[in-house]
């Protein structure tokens, strides 16, 4: 008997008991739909975190001033004064894996425009900072290197600062007062949102030339941090090692002594987030797969009932020449057809559930073809696995006993 004929017979047999077949497929439908939706939620969350990390900068490393202990108290990062501008210049000269670097120092500021004021973070840096952070402008431009050399009073503001100070007013060219010093707004940054690493608002910031911050506001001649861009993500690990060795040598730190700085690699953060996302996706898929197993058990139960109900039919088929293989294939294909139809409906159910999750909860859901293919293959495997025993039982019936069965 050819395969197409067996499939037709299987479809007719399933159509005779539409309600029972539908209820049997329900477990597979729910299982496949749950797998697709849960994997979509996991992959969507994973992709969202990766995008947030990527938004922080391109192949970026964060070199920060380290901590010191005073009177038994750890002062926290940025307390040392050993990280200086010459360290950044040395990185660019002596670290082959370093592509670009921008110095930085941080202060707090009370900013005033007209009758409005806002407390925010004030960063001093250089123009290449915006390229390293891959941070474009929605209005205006960056301050220039000439502004840095002249310690000019110019500022680039984040979206949060713009909203709170200016509202609907165009901020370009306007003068704001930062700690009672006048600054001309030359640019407004594109919103980046919340930082994936620290959870703070990246847009609540004002950036000015590093020399302006050091000479007119903080009075410091050392750096709190240096943003470094490696040539590639792979070379960021080499850059991390090169920077560490260089700074230990420049700061005369002996073997066994603690560093007076630290180096953070965003590639490490991205890899860690990727691993966590994979584990979460696998966990969600495993939980959802339980529904598929339950659905498979339902198929096996129904197929066993079907074998019992159709014992005389099996006996007749074997009496007129059907082999054990023919009978086994017939019942096995019925189980697979149940699984595949249920899987097809489950795909639509899972896609619809994913869309509903996105619309109602606002979660990022990513439906990948791999998840769909895996769910379909898994449903077929469930049909074969749980349909094998009933099919084998039907094939091993004695034809004479089967014909006598009432």
Mean pLDDT, to the nearest integer, of 78-94?
86
- The top-scoring range by mean pLDDT among 26-30, 50-54, 60-64, 398-402 is 60-64
Q: Residue 89 to residues 64, 80, 97, 99, 261: CA-CA distances in angstroms?
A: 15, 19, 14, 12, 16
| pLDDT tens column, 8-25 | 776 776 777 777 778 777
- Which of 371, 377, 374 is closest to 339 using CA atoms? 377
- Which of 400, 57, 100, 133 is closest to 228 using CA atoms? 100
Q: How many Å apart are CA 309 and CA 291, to the nearest integer?
A: 27
Res 161: pLDDT? 94
Kindly state the percentage of the chain with pLDDT values over 70: 80
Res 397: pLDDT? 66
Backbone angles phi, psi at 160, to 5 degrees: -65, -40
Q: Is the pLDDT of residue 153 over 80?
A: yes
Computed over every residue of the chain, the mean pLDDT equals 80
Mean pLDDT, to the nearest integer, of 202-208?
93
Res 141: pLDDT? 93
Lowest-confidence pick of 27-41, 240-254, 264-278: 264-278
Q: pLDDT-derived band of residue 76, with 50, 70 and 90 as boundaries?
A: low
Task: Return the bridge partners of 104, or none.
Answer: 225
| pLDDT tens column, 278-335 | 777 777 777 767 777 777 777 777 777 777 766 667 677 677 776 777 777 777 777 7
Residue tagged 């690990």 (tokens): 237
314 vs 123: which has the higher pLDDT? 123
Q: Residue 241 to residues 53, 95, 148, 267, 312: CA-CA distances in angstroms?
A: 21, 9, 30, 14, 77
245 vs 324: which has the higher pLDDT? 245
Kindly state the percentage of the chain with pLDDT values over 90: 29
| pLDDT tens column, 185-198 | 999 999 987 765 55
Q: pLDDT-derived band of residue 402, with 50, 70 and 90 as boundaries?
A: low
Q: Is 204 helix (H, G, I), strand (E, B) or coil?
A: coil
Q: pLDDT-derived band of residue 54, with 50, 70 and 90 as boundaries?
A: low
Q: Is the pLDDT of residue 271 over 90?
A: no
Q: How many Å apart are CA 371 and CA 282, to the nearest integer?
A: 11
Q: How many Å apart are CA 155 and CA 179, to the nearest integer?
A: 13
Res 26: pLDDT? 81
Q: pLDDT-derived band of residue 184, with 50, 70 and 90 as boundaries?
A: very high
Q: pLDDT-derived band of residue 215, with 50, 70 and 90 as boundaries?
A: very high
Mean pLDDT, to the nearest integer, of 212-240?
88
Model confidence pTM above 0.85: no
Q: How many Å apart are CA 189 and CA 160, to the nearest integer?
A: 10
Q: What is the dihedral of CA 48, 50, 56, 62, to 10 degrees?
A: 150
- Which of 385, 389, 382 is closest to 291 using CA atoms? 382
Res 204: pLDDT? 93
Query: Where along the chain do its domains lie?
Result: 3-52+272-404, 81-259
Mean pLDDT, to the nearest integer, of 171-199?
85
Q: Is the pLDDT of residue 46 over 80?
A: no
Res 273: pLDDT? 62
- The top-scoring range by mean pLDDT among 57-61, 81-85, 207-211 is 207-211
């Amino acid at each position: 008997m050819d395969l197409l004929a067996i499939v037709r017979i299987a479809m007719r047999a399933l159509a005779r008991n539409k309600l029972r077949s539908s209820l049997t497929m329900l477990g597979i439908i729910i299982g496949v739909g749950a797998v697709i939706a849960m994997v979509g939620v996991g992959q969507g969350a994973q992709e969202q975190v990766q995008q947030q990390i990527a938004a922080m900068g391109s192949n970026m490393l964060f070199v920060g001033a380290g901590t010191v202990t005073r009177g038994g108290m750890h002062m926290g990062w940025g307390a040392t004064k050993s990280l200086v501008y010459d360290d950044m210049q040395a990185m660019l000269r002596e670290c082959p894996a370093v592509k670009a670097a921008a110095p930085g120092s941080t202060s707090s500021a009370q900013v005033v425009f007209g009758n409005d004021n806002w407390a925010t973070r004030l960063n001093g840096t250089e123009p290449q900072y915006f390229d390293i952070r891959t941070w474009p402008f929605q209005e205006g431009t960056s301050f220039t290197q000439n502004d840095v050399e002249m310690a000019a009073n110019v500022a680039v503001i984040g979206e949060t600062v713009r909203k709170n100070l200016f509202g609907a007013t165009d901020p370009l060219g306007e003068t704001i007062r930062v700690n009672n010093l006048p600054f001309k707004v030359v640019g407004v940054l594109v919103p980046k949102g919340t930082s994936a690493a620290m959870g703070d608002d990246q847009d609540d910031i004002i950036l000015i030339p590093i020399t302006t911050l050091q000479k007119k506001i903080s009075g410091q001649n050392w750096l709190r941090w240096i943003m470094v861009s490696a040539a590639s993500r792979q070379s960021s690990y080499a850059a991390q090692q090169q920077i560490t060795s260089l700074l230990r040598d420049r700061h005369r730190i002996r073997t066994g002594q603690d560093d007076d700085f630290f180096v953070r690699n965003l590639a490490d953060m991205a890899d860690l987030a990727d691993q966590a996302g994979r584990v979460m996706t696998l966990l969600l898929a495993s939980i959802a797969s339980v529904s598929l197993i339950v659905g498979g058990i339902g198929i096996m139960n129904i197929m066993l009932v079907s074998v019992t109900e159709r014992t005389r039919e099996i006996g007749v088929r074997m009496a007129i020449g059907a082999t054990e293989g023919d009978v086994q294939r017939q019942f096995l294909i019925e189980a697979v057809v149940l699984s595949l139809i249920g899987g097809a409906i489950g795909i639509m159910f899972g896609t619809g559930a994913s869309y509903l999750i996105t619309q109602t909860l606002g979660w990022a859901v990513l439906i990948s073809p791999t998840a769909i293919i895996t769910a379909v293959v898994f449903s077929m495997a469930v049909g074969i696995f749980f349909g094998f025993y009933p099919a084998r039982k039907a094939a091993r019936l004695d034809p004479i006993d089967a014909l006598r069965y009432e």
